[in-house]
Chain A
C-alpha cells in the first residue's frame, strides 16, 4: 500500500514527456531572446525578459518531481523581485533625464468609486481575515490586498512616515521569525511543529506587509495632483 502512493522511479508519463517539454522551453526561450536581440526600445526589452523567465519555469517544471515543483517558487520569486527593482531603476532614470516636474502618471489617477468611501474598513477586515485563514503565501497576498484597499481609500494625503516605517518593521521582524524557525528545525528538532508555525506565520506577515507597502507607495504616486 505504502509503496503504491509514491513510486520509486519517475512514472513513464513524465520521462516520455520530458524531451517534448524541454524542446518547448528551449523554443520559447529562443523566441524571447531573439526578440530581445532585435528590439531597440528599453521598455520593450524589459517586457520581453518576462518571456525568458517563463521559459526558465518550463525547463524547471519539465523534470516533473515534487522537487521541481518546489524549485519553481524560488525561480518565480527571483524573476519577480528583479523586474520590480529594475523597473523602478528605469522610472528613476527616465525621470532624471527629463524635467523635475515630470509626473509618474501623465494624468493623475482618480479612484472615485462609492465603495471607497462607504465600506473600506469592512472590506479590508474581510480580506485580512480571509488571508489569515488561507495562511502561507496566498494568504499573505490576500491580506496584503486588504491593506492596499484600506490605504488607497484613505483620502488624506502626505506620506505617513511612521506608518511606512512601521509596516517595514513588521516585514523585517517576520523575516527574522522565519530565520529563527529555520534554525530551530536543526538545533531543536523536537520542536519541529513550533518551527513550522514560525516559518509559516513569518511568511504570512512578510508577504502581507510588503504588499501593504506597495499600496502606500502607489497611493503616494497616484494621488499626486
Chain B
C-alpha cells in the first residue's frame, strides 16, 4: 500500500498540518447547512429590538436599561442573580462627565467615552468578570512572548554572535567541512559506479 505510506509521511510534516486542519474544519462547517437551525428566544441579557430606543427618544439610546445613577439599579438578567449582590448598580451608574455629556449630545449612547458604568461594563467587569481577566491575561502572555522575542532575538542578534566560543566555532567548522568532504566523496563514488556500469555494457 504505497499510497497510505505516502499519506502518513505527509501527516508527519508540520507544514501540512494547518492545511489539513483547515480542510477538515471547513468540511465540518458545511454540515451546518444540513441541520435545523434556530435561535432559542429564551436568552439571558436580552436587548430591545434595533432602533426601538432611538425611536422612543431615550437619551442614552441603544444602551438604556433603566435605573438612576446611584439611586436605583438597572435591569440585568444575569444567569445567577443570587451570586451578584449589587446586580444592576453598575448598569445604571455613569461618571459625572458622562452624565454631563448625556445632556449635550443625543448620540452619547453610541460612544464609549467616559466609560466606567453601563451595561456592557457590568457584564465585562462584574457578572462575567473572570472571562475578562482571562482575556487580559492572554493578551499579557502574548506581549511577554512577543517582546521577549523582539528584545532578545530580533534586536540583539549581533551581540549573541560575539559571545560565541571560538573553540566551539572551530569544532563546528571542522564538523561541517568533514560532512561536506564526506558528501563529495559519496557523490564521487556514485559517479564512478555509474561510469563502471556504462563501461561494463
Contacts and interface: CB of A to CB of B under 8 A. Distances in A.
A and B directly contacting (CB within 8 A)? yes
Contacts of A14: 39, 49
Contact of A100 (B119, B120, B150, B161): B161
A172 B139 CA distance: 12
Given A66-B45, A70-B120, A135-B116, A92 B153 contact: yes
Sort chain B's interface into a size bin. Answer: 35 or more
A127 interface: no
Interface string B1-44: 00000000000000000111011011001101100011101111
A7 B17 CA distance: 47
Interface string B135-154: 11111111101110111011
A100 B162 CA distance: 11
Contact of A135 (B18, B30, B113, B142): B113
B120 A66 contact: yes
Interface in B39-81: 39, 41-50, 52-53, 64-66, 75, 77
Sort chain A's interface into a size bin. Answer: 35 or more
A210 B29 contact: no
A185 to B, nearest CB: 6
B188 interface: no
B interface, by DSSP: helix, strand, loop or mixed? Answer: helix
A33 B25 contact: yes
Contact of A134 (B26, B48, B113): B113
A196 B93 contact: yes
Nearest to B98: A135
B77 A6 contact: yes
Interface in A51-83: 52, 62-67, 69-71, 73-74, 77-78, 80-82
16 contacts: A2-B75, A6-B75, A7-B46, A7-B48, A11-B46, A23-B32, A80-B139, A88-B150, A91-B149, A91-B154, A95-B153, A95-B157, A178-B136, A182-B130, A185-B129, A200-B121
Interface of A: 2, 5-15, 18-19, 22-23, 26, 29-30, 33-34, 36-39, 45, 52, 62-67, 69-71, 73-74, 77-78, 80-82, 84-85, 88-89, 91-92, 95-96, 100-101, 104, 133-139, 159, 164, 168, 171-172, 175, 178-179, 181-182, 185, 189, 192-193, 195-197, 199-200, 203, 206, 210, 213, 217, 220-221
